[in-house]
Amino acid sequence: GVHFVSALQHDSFGTLLQHHLTHDLQLDMSTSVTLFHPSTAAPSSSSTNAPSSSSSASSLLSNNGRTAVYNCMIDETGEMVTAVADMDILERELTPDRIRSLLSSMVARNEMLNQSHGAPPRTVLLFVDGNVSAQTLKAICQFTTEHNSDRNKSRQLQFSVFFEPTSVAKCVRPIQANCLSQIMFMKPNEDELTAMVDAILQSTPSSSTSSNQMSVYDRLKLLIINGAHHIFLTRGKYGV
């Protein structure tokens, strides 16, 4: 199943998003929603009976800030011309402690199902985009790595992290968090690939190489040498 995690405000865009999740995508928010408030650090009891096999949504409902909004302009060929985004609520509310709590609950529910129904081993693919902070991304990678290395816990549940770089400014967060090797999949475009390579080169004082002097192949190779596993490079009209 699919489990969607985000942070919402009690505003018109938050209401619109919840309507889209429940009516258009038919995700179950009545039995599987995990509510966080800025004044508390633990999920509400509404999430404890959530069936891990069903599609569901967890929203961290905040009284501060605004629901995240992204606006872009595209040309007649479908290429983006410019964009503006307000994602502050995601960095502020999707904290390392809250995400670790959600992941721990997921593991606990899976163990409970396995004990009662003998559920088969499965792999959970965690899609994480660059709108979370570097600290939260690091916490996700640390949690999944520690879980996967625990033979007792990982027999029934394995995690793989898929990172969506989001933008040139945010794609460098795996390098900032020093967790590139803990991310199994990523999908940068060429500009994001260049920014990630530049971040690696800048963190290596002895390096005199510039990304401008490197081919696309050499940039991909540098990411892999520094720990990346599977890279899906998107190249606009040229495909992936």
pLDDT mean by block of 10 residues, the chain; 240 residues: 81 85 76 43 40 54 77 89 90 91 86 70 90 96 93 79 95 96 96 95 78 90 95 87
Q: How many CB atoms lie within 10 A of CB 175?
A: 21
pTM above 0.85, yes or no: no
What CA dihedral angle connects 184, 187, 192 and 197, to 10 degrees? Answer: 30
What is the pLDDT at residue 30? Answer: 56
Contacting residues for 42 by C-beta, under 8 A, at least 6 apart: 101
What is the pLDDT at residue 10? Answer: 82
What is the pLDDT at residue 64? Answer: 66
> What is the DSSP code (8-state) at residue 160?
E
What is the pLDDT at residue 19? Answer: 85
What is the pLDDT at residue 110? Answer: 77
Backbone angles phi, psi at 11, to 5 degrees: -135, -175
What is the pLDDT at residue 236? Answer: 80
What is the pLDDT at residue 118? Answer: 63
What is the pLDDT at residue 183? Answer: 97
- By three-state DSSP, how is residue 119 classified? coil
What is the pLDDT at residue 47? Answer: 41
CA atoms within 13 A of residue 220's CA, in its CB half-sphere: 15
